Structure 1
Amino acid sequence: MENTLQIKDNKIYAPLLEKWLVLKPEELVRQTYILRLIDNYGFSPDQMAQELKVSNSQRGQGRAMADIAIWKSKEDKNKRKHASIVVECKAEHLTIREEDYFQGLNYATWAGADFFVTTNLKETKIFKVVKGHIPDRLDEVIDIPNANMITNAKKVDALLKQTKAFTRDEFSKLLFKCHNIIRNNDKLSPEAAFDEISKILFIKIRYERENSKAQVFSQEQFLKDKEAYNRYSSSSSRPFYQQLFENTKEEFKDDDLFDPNESIRIRENSFEAIVKELETYNLSTTSDDVKGIAFEQFLGRTFRGELGQFFTPRTIVDFMVEVLDPQEGEIICDPCCGSGGFLIKAFEYVRAKIEEDIHEEKEKIKSIYYTEEYEKLTESKKEEVDEIVNELFNKLNQELDITNPKSRLRVLSYECIFGTDANPRMSRTAKMNMIMHGDGHGGVHHNDGLLNVNGIFDNRFDVILTNPPFGSRVEKSLKITEADKYKDLDRILKYKERYDVPGNPAYTNALKQISDNIGKPLLSLYKTGTMSSLTEVLFIERCLNLLKPGGRIGIVLPEGVLNNSNLQKIRDFVESKAKIVLITSIPQDVFIASGATVKPSLLFFKKFTEEEVKQYKAIVVSATKTINVKFKPQEEEALTNYKNIETAYNEAAKTLKDINNLKGQKKGNIKLNPKEYDDLLYKVGDLKEKEKEAKKEYKSTIKTIAQEKEIEKKALIKEKFNYEIPIAEVEKAGISTTGAKIDNELEPLAKEFTEYREQNHLWENIINKVEYQIVDDKKMYRIPLSGENKAQEPEIFYN
């Protein structure tokens, strides 16, 4: 048997059936995985079967048939004994739902297997089969036995005990072990050691993504590739492990994650040792929640103290994302993304909505085709119906294929998630963190969050989630320089093609933020820069600028930042641009575990819609006019009092001046009555002092009146532009000062706020929905709905 995929004329060869089949996405996965079972696990084709029929078929699921079955031996297969392993194959890049796992587990249970595998090549999940009853729980394990192990009961039992929780903990421990290898061997600081771990993880992911058979980046493979590299390299060539990093830098160059001169800063033997430790895990196939959560655990412990400011606790992230409820099609940003927590949660949150929608569409299809009439059909007719259903399912599955440029998951990953961080270590960490959680990493950059880059510029975003740095200041001396300009002409052209449209050269204008302000202070870019140089204040304005009209923000800020009397102008600025929809005070304990010392609050704003901008401006104009009329008499009275004294002084001073200017009437030669002249001098001096006092009193009175006018104007504006601001305070937010898990009052609060905002239609301008319509057999339309909830021209989706 030839152990390579054989494909020609839109057909693929199935060696277990010894015939050619129509090339379909799921068939490609199945035949590829069969070769993996042969090459990587050592199974023989004669101990495997394709399309094994099992009993207990249920209406609504089609016919029960296992994609691949594996026996302990050829003899067991021939004697029709129970299979040991059952494999269910799904279309590539499909994120498989729990219901799909249960369906496959049913097959495995009916077949009497020990292990059940579900795979789409990128992601492989393995479960142990609970014997004796239909499964009601999922116990995920680390791996299946290979051909040598499958007949050894003790080794099989050991594998069955290596559950998913074990896998996650082991992976997390391995990352710490690798971290310690670097610290011990290369004497690097914890932060520098973390950087080197990240580089190796990037190398490993690149290798395992590019390998068609999902082969792991092992020490054996490294040594083999190194030998081949050295055989054809000159003596001046860089070491092989450094060359691997150069190739990886090239792969990720568009994201500015690595300095061009950056190299691996550990010894080669340390590199090899880490590769050896990590070779158990294929990062292109390991379940996203295994490697993602393990990496988060690693980050959580690494980012204590100095690096804690970059790590927002997961309980806070979960709460803020649920409050803002991002939808499919909305563009999301974190301009100071740290380790990427907000972006990851938002990606997962929207991805789950897409998966749920796809699942609902599949259920609709099943309800159409798997009726009572289906049960009355002949086997051949059932196969025809199953074929139609599979075709429709396969088309829906393509929506979750991240390599399909038009798929919903691809659009989410590469068009809707953006983030920057000014710290190069953090931007790399966010990128790696997002890869570990499932490819939602297209828009993460190393860049100052206050400056534009890629698609991050004004009026672009529907949702912003961020935890900006607290307490630091932007110095007035900090100028925008030529070094801040984006100079990669190829990428600039690419971004112009992506974002500029006729009549709206959005990206071209975004570049002017820097090019038109070279040499000017960074503070001059922001109106609030004249009020405060605090970074959190500047980021409030930055976020408001980045949002589209009607967009919404969730931001972590120091408690009372909008109530501080010294920052009253900042609150006024915010309230002139957005509605405050929720303020949540949380205990300081939450951030102490991450190294922070300031008590935080979670604030949520909704930027004015265009209609609200007009409404607010009209109210301001009207309120200003009303208040001006009310206080005009007081202002006129104050002015009249001052003018009376000023006039008297001016008249007396003029008389004295005229007398002194008369010829011959200068001092020493006065012909006027000396007493009268002295009285006049005294009068002028007295009036001058009174005029000074009157002027001072007038200014004070006008200032007081202005303050009263402002207070009353604000009150009048709030009266006419009135809305409720919910304020909540929680004492427990899911995490203690030591980082331990405790009660989380944010969870019920999020549900309570969701009910409140739905009742009050806070997000009423948000309607993003995709619907599908089956017109007749094997024909499906995808109908995107516009913001007015009207169907646009249907796009033929499947025919």
Structure 2
Amino acid sequence: MSKNLISKGVANHLIEIADDQRQITYLHQNKKRNYTYPEEQVQAVTFLKLVLIYGYPVEQVRLLVPIKIGAGRKKEADMVVYSDTACTVPHIVVECKKADASEMEFKEGVAQAYSYACGISKKPMYAWITSGTKNQTFFIGDENTVMTTKPDIPRYGNVGVEAYKYAKGGRKGNEDSLGDNIKQKFFDIETVSESDLTRRFKLAHNALWAGGELNPSTAFDELDKLIFCKIWDERKLRKKGEAYDFQVFNTSLPKNATSEQITRAEHKNSNELFARIKKLYAEGKRQDPEVFKDDIRLKPVKVKAVVGYLEGINLKDTDLDSKGKAFETFMGSYFRGDFGQYFTPRNIVQFIINVLPITNHSRVLDTSCGSGGFLLYTLEKIRKQADEYFENQKGDPENDIAEGADHHRYWHDFVSKKLFGIEINEQIARTAKMNMIIHNDGQTNVIAADGLLKDEALRQRSHNREFKYNSFDFIVTNPPFGSVVKQLEKAYLHQYKLGNKDVSWLDTKNSAVQGRANQSTEVLFIEQCWYFLKEGGTLAIVVPDGILTNSSLQYVRDRIEEWYRIVAVVSMPQTAFAHTGAGVKSSVLFLKKWDKATTESLQSIKDRLKNNIKTTHHYEATIERIEKEKKDIIKAHRGFENTTSETDRKAIAKTPAFKAWKKGIQQKYTNAINQLKTNLHDQYIQQKQIVLPDYSIFMAIAEDIGYDATGKTTPNNELVAIGEALEKFMATL
């Protein structure tokens, strides 16, 4: 709206903006001001609102009005609107603050406006304090009595203001409507830019925790709840002209009210707002009880502060990408550090989702969804598909109702029935749910649970029966790196094949399978994803490179080749996660789950190969011979020293020298056995590549992925070209 107002102001010869955008001239007073100042930019828009929207004659709006305050002190009010053309009867005092003014700075603006009003007249008038981001209006009674809250300033020609400011069907704020119907009573809520929305989220959050009344974490949760209420308010069915609930209403006062009555009325106003908010919250919780389980834990005055930042915006219709980036930026600024691992960089998420052939019929899961980045980009992908099939959904509402309904059904049914997420951290899970809700889906299938629980346990905990093994077409995930699951803490560890140590194929002692004391989470998630996928389903997973290269993790790679067809390995640069606080070198694996017959066939081929190698090299006989030779040497003390009797050998066996010699002999033969095992294992690895079915694997190394180690954008993103090539490759499979 601001850009439209500025353009219309120039066209109507109300202002002039210098070519270099550094100076603005208010033509009716011929006042030149520095347009680079943030407050001046707000002041320009506010001036134009008064004239073009509220309808005040430009001659009755004065800028920078000198005012005497107290004992001779002189100040300047940003603007004063007068009731008469001679500008002798002040009607509205306006105080402008910069767009990102803090709650404390805004309160200072309220005090300034009140003092200016007191200095200019003892007659009743309005005070409007605005930063563009937030607005507050007060009515100051006769003899400068205590200010009372108003939802808006009066329009030109009106004596008072309505009971509320925002109603369905008011002015949208686009350029075509500016200046029209200035007698219209209400405003409709408006879409905002990404930067404006980000600013509002941050300022609202700061208003909650600044001063130490709430810690930042609690403030974040409480703001999430209020955003939740805002979205539900926008979704409520209401007729044209009906008020939105998520806004400050007029303060009702008796005639000639006393200060005490005014104070009580203000208190009642805040409580009534809080009651409306709690009702919205209760309605939302009934629709989706998994989003928030506790009540709003704020005082009415804090709720009112947040409402001031959000009441006039339209979250539902604000551009999807703008909302996503704004919420992500806001979350990133708060969660950076301790929670940084929950955020997969946007370029990597976009690369993965763009490559995969997901449709609105696909069932999609993120087993470690964090704040919901993969889920949101999947939703965006399906929305774009809807745009292709239903091109007229944004056209004439009279003709495109059916088309629009089809468009909505296409993506909304997908989100509500086929898109799922699991997040172990409850606070992050709530954020992911809010992230989905803010993108218009109306409900979420995000649950707060340990993503490594077996599917039945997940269903019992979440009451969502859709978390079933062998049911998902796609899994996209970035599991947490570096943490471990310990059997003493998680009883489910030994339910995983990779949570146990298999008997080595070169073991000759008939050892039983042993449970591991612990296992890396990223390793277990590879197996968990295999359980969740349908046969033929695709997994795209970010893994640390150690899984691909460490010799100690060969057993993991063996399982991967038995469970999955390896489609692609795309190496990320060392800096890929540096700006989130993680420096682990990583890659993205694209894996397609084999059908059961193929997995069993691969295991059978490998077992036969192992047996053939052992048979060819007479492995068990060779091990037996080596062990016997070792025992004979030790028993006869061969090579240690000559002894003439059994008694001498027993005595010598107790000496330190003999024990050291014996240890050396044992180590020598152990080394011989280990070398034999290494040789046979190497032979197995070489021959395995020959006997296993051969297929092509897409390999790529990305060195520049569109941002550097600090997160700053770089001009080249190699993932775009890699993604295009990989998408073509996958289409041939």
Name the TM-score class by shorter chain.
0.5 to 0.7
C-alpha displacement of 1:396: 5.5
Match of 1:594 among 565, 576, 580: 580
Code of the aligned partner of 2:449: N
C-alpha displacement of 1:747: 0.7
Distance in 2 (CA, whole Å) between partners of 1:126 and 1:628 is 83
Distance in 2 (CA, whole Å) between partners of 1:124 and 1:590 is 46
Q: Is the 8 A contact 2:566 2:590 kept in 1?
A: yes
Q: Is the 8 A contact 1:649 1:687 kept in 2?
A: no
C-alpha displacement of 1:696: 7.2
Q: Please give the secondary structure, in 2, of the residue aligned with 1:188.
A: coil
Q: Is the 8 A contact 1:186 1:267 kept in 2?
A: no
Corresponding residue of 1:751? 724
Q: Is the 8 A contact 1:468 1:535 kept in 2?
A: yes
Distance in 2 (CA, whole Å) between partners of 1:755 and 1:729 is 17
Code of the aligned partner of 2:247: Q
> For 1:375-418, what per-residue CA distance to the aligned partner results, in whole angstroms no more than 9, with x for missing partners?
xxxxxxxxxxx9xx97xx7655543334xxxxx43431122100
Q: Please give the secondary structure, in 2, of the residue aligned with 1:282.
A: coil
C-alpha displacement of 1:241: 6.0
Q: Is the 8 A contact 1:427 1:444 kept in 2?
A: yes
Corresponding residue of 1:585? 571
Distance in 2 (CA, whole Å) between partners of 1:741 and 1:582 is 26
Alignment of 1:219-234 (within 5 A): 219-220=247-248
Distance in 1 (CA, whole Å) between partners of 2:649 and 2:210 is 91
Alignment of 1:615-654 (within 5 A): 615-632=601-618, 635-640=620-625, 643=628
C-alpha displacement of 1:248: 4.5
Corresponding residue of 1:783? none
Moved more, 432-441 or 533-542: 432-441
Corresponding residue of 1:56? none
Asked whether 1:332 is paired with 2:361, we answer: no
Asked whether 1:244 is paired with 2:292, we answer: no
Alignment of 1:630-779 (within 5 A): 630-632=616-618, 635-640=620-625, 643=628, 701-721=672-692, 722-742=694-714, 743-758=716-731, 761-762=732-733
Give the TM-score of the pair, scaled to structure 2: 0.61
Corresponding residue of 2:418? 416
Corresponding residue of 1:308? 340
Q: Is the 8 A contact 1:291 1:437 kept in 2?
A: yes
Q: Please give the secondary structure, in 1, of the residue aligned with 2:709.
A: coil
Distance in 2 (CA, whole Å) between partners of 1:571 and 1:222 is 67
> CA 1:245–1:163 in 2, change beyond 3 Å: closer, same or farther?
closer
Corresponding residue of 1:205? 231
Match of 1:525 among 484, 490, 495: 495
Q: Is the 8 A contact 1:199 1:245 kept in 2?
A: no
Q: Please give the secondary structure, in 1, of the residue aligned with 2:548.
A: coil
Distance in 1 (CA, whole Å) between partners of 2:582 and 2:180 is 53
Structure ranking higher in helix proportion? 1
Q: Percent same amino acid among aligned pairs? A: 31
Code of the aligned partner of 1:244: K
Asked whether 1:608 is paired with 2:588, we answer: no
C-alpha displacement of 1:533: 2.2
Q: Is the 8 A contact 2:316 2:440 kept in 1?
A: no
> CA 1:286–1:552 in 2, change beyond 3 Å: closer, same or farther?
same
Q: Is the 8 A contact 1:331 1:460 kept in 2?
A: yes
Asked whether 1:469 is paired with 2:502, we answer: no
Distance in 1 (CA, whole Å) between partners of 2:345 and 2:481 is 16
Alignment of 1:367-406 (within 5 A): 397-402=404-409
> CA 1:577–1:737 in 2, change beyond 3 Å: closer, same or farther?
same
> For 1:27-51, what per-residue CA distance to the aligned partner results, in whole angstroms no more than 9, with x for missing partners?
xxxxxxxxxxxxxx99xxxxxxxxx
> For 1:663-708, what per-residue CA distance to the aligned partner results, in whole angstroms no more than 9, with x for missing partners?
xxxxxxxxxxxxxx96576799999999999987666544433333
Distance in 2 (CA, whole Å) between partners of 1:268 and 1:124 is 28
C-alpha displacement of 1:143: 8.5
C-alpha displacement of 1:605: 1.9
C-alpha displacement of 1:756: 2.4
Q: Is the 8 A contact 1:347 1:440 kept in 2?
A: no
> CA 1:624–1:337 in 2, change beyond 3 Å: closer, same or farther?
same
Corresponding residue of 1:442? 444
Q: Is the 8 A contact 1:733 1:745 kept in 2?
A: yes
Q: Please give the secondary structure, in 2, of the residue aligned with 1:567.
A: helix
Distance in 2 (CA, whole Å) between partners of 1:527 and 1:142 is 63
> CA 1:295–1:638 in 2, change beyond 3 Å: closer, same or farther?
closer
> For 1:116-146, what per-residue CA distance to the aligned partner results, in whole angstroms no more than 9, with x for missing partners?
xxxxxxx999999xxxxxxxxxxxx589447
C-alpha displacement of 1:555: 1.6
Q: Is the 8 A contact 1:552 1:607 kept in 2?
A: yes
Distance in 2 (CA, whole Å) between partners of 1:456 and 1:726 is 31
Distance in 2 (CA, whole Å) between partners of 1:699 and 1:572 is 26
Distance in 2 (CA, whole Å) between partners of 1:686 and 1:639 is 27
Q: Is the 8 A contact 1:242 1:263 kept in 2?
A: no
Q: Is the 8 A contact 1:579 1:608 kept in 2?
A: yes
> For 1:405-461, what per-residue CA distance to the aligned partner results, in whole angstroms no more than 9, with x for missing partners?
xxx434311221000111122111111111222317531111111122332232121
Q: Please give the secondary structure, in 2, of the residue aligned with 1:598.
A: coil
Corresponding residue of 1:346? 378
Corresponding residue of 2:292? 258
> For 1:590-609, what per-residue CA distance to the aligned partner results, in whole angstroms no more than 9, with x for missing partners?
32332323333222222223
Distance in 2 (CA, whole Å) between partners of 1:681 and 1:167 is 95
Distance in 2 (CA, whole Å) between partners of 1:280 and 1:397 is 26
> For 1:549-595, what per-residue CA distance to the aligned partner results, in whole angstroms no more than 9, with x for missing partners?
22221122223333123323222222222233222222343323323
Q: Please give the secondary structure, in 2, of the residue aligned with 1:550.
A: strand
Q: In structure 2, list runs of 5 or more residues that go unmatched.
A: 1-52, 55-167, 253-264, 501-515, 637-642
Q: In structure 1, list runs of 5 or more residues that go unmatched.
A: 1-40, 43-122, 129-140, 225-229, 363-385, 403-407, 480-520, 653-676, 763-799
Q: Is the 8 A contact 2:316 2:439 kept in 1?
A: no
Q: Is the 8 A contact 2:547 2:553 kept in 1?
A: yes
Match of 2:539 among 536, 550, 553: 553
Q: Is the 8 A contact 2:249 2:273 kept in 1?
A: no
Q: Is the 8 A contact 2:190 2:313 kept in 1?
A: no
> CA 1:223–1:246 in 2, change beyond 3 Å: closer, same or farther?
farther
> CA 1:739–1:266 in 2, change beyond 3 Å: closer, same or farther?
farther
Distance in 1 (CA, whole Å) between partners of 2:199 and 2:519 is 42
C-alpha displacement of 1:304: 1.8
Q: Please give the secondary structure, in 2, of the residue aligned with 1:714.
A: helix
C-alpha displacement of 1:250: 2.8
Distance in 1 (CA, whole Å) between partners of 2:587 and 2:545 is 5
Distance in 2 (CA, whole Å) between partners of 1:398 and 1:606 is 35
Code of the aligned partner of 1:352: K
Distance in 2 (CA, whole Å) between partners of 1:605 and 1:471 is 22
> For 1:20-71, what per-residue CA distance to the aligned partner results, in whole angstroms no more than 9, with x for missing partners?
xxxxxxxxxxxxxxxxxxxxx99xxxxxxxxxxxxxxxxxxxxxxxxxxxxx
Corresponding residue of 1:148? 181
Code of the aligned partner of 1:636: A
CA RMSD of aligned residues (A): 4.4
Q: Is the 8 A contact 1:584 1:727 kept in 2?
A: yes
Code of the aligned partner of 2:720: E
Alignment of 1:250-329 (within 5 A): 250-255=285-290, 257-259=291-293, 262-329=294-361
Distance in 2 (CA, whole Å) between partners of 1:126 and 1:731 is 49
Q: Please give the secondary structure, in 2, of the residue aligned with 1:562.
A: helix
Distance in 2 (CA, whole Å) between partners of 1:716 and 1:299 is 51
> For 1:156-190, what per-residue CA distance to the aligned partner results, in whole angstroms no more than 9, with x for missing partners?
9xx9xx998x6332222111121121122563333
